[in-house]
Amino acid sequence: MRQIESKKLILASHNAGKLKEIRQLMEPYGFDVASVADLDLPEPEENGTTFEANAYTKALAAAEATGQIALSDDSGLCVEALEGQPGVYTADWAEKDDGSGRDFGLAMQKVETALQEKGASAPDQRRGYFCAVLCLCWPDGHAEYFRGEAHGQLVWPPRGELGFGYDPVFQPDGHARTFGEMSAEEKHSWTPGQGEGLSHRARAFAKFAEACLG
């Protein structure tokens, strides 16, 4: 495992929700963190078929463009009754038909419609999980990967206005509220040295922190 030798890190994401969450998780470690959005760098085309491939594409582009170590996140919602969809195409399901941007209310409705078409109404028919893969990449192309998953069920209608993306329809195992009803602290439920956390991103980050941040 290659170690981080600098306190500077580039976050390879333009997603405001992801950037906020990763910055919150990084805060205890005293890193000087900038994002590709801060630096006005373009988004690379993501055409991978796995979370790992897309995470690497983003991290490598950021590392090569800045000459610094970059950390990326590729994540998505995998629904069992839908054979793992939307999966790596989670953000694509939110694309508006007119190409004017993303609407996650529309995306959540698409998931619900697909579940209804499958006759998936009972809780055990509506199982799914969020997956997050963090990729830490150096300018020379070397990369390390950290994967986290949070399992639960899909609820309808959406509940809560916190979080982002599909959070309002995802109720994690062992909880009566959705991610959309939880504060960031509750959703992650993780601090350094305190287990694996609750959210998929916190679980991936816990592995990253243990391996690379000490």
**Catalytic positions:** 74
Q: What is the DSSP string of 151-164?
A: EEEE-SS---SSSS
Helices 200-208 & 16-26, crossing angle to 10 degrees? 40
- Calpha distance 154→94 (Å, rounded): 17
**Distances in Å between the alpha carbon of 8 and those of 31, 38, 50, 81, 130?**
6, 14, 28, 42, 28
The secondary structure element, H or E, covering residue 58 is helix 51-66
By C-alpha distance, which of 21, 64, 23 is closest to 41? 64
Q: Rounded to 5 degrees, what are φ and ψ at 72?
A: -120, 165
- Calpha distance 191→162 (Å, rounded): 20
- Calpha distance 74→109 (Å, rounded): 22
By C-alpha distance, which of 143, 147, 154 is closest to 51? 147
Pick left, alpha or beta for residue 71 (phi over 0 → left; psi -120 to 50 → alpha; otherwise beta): beta
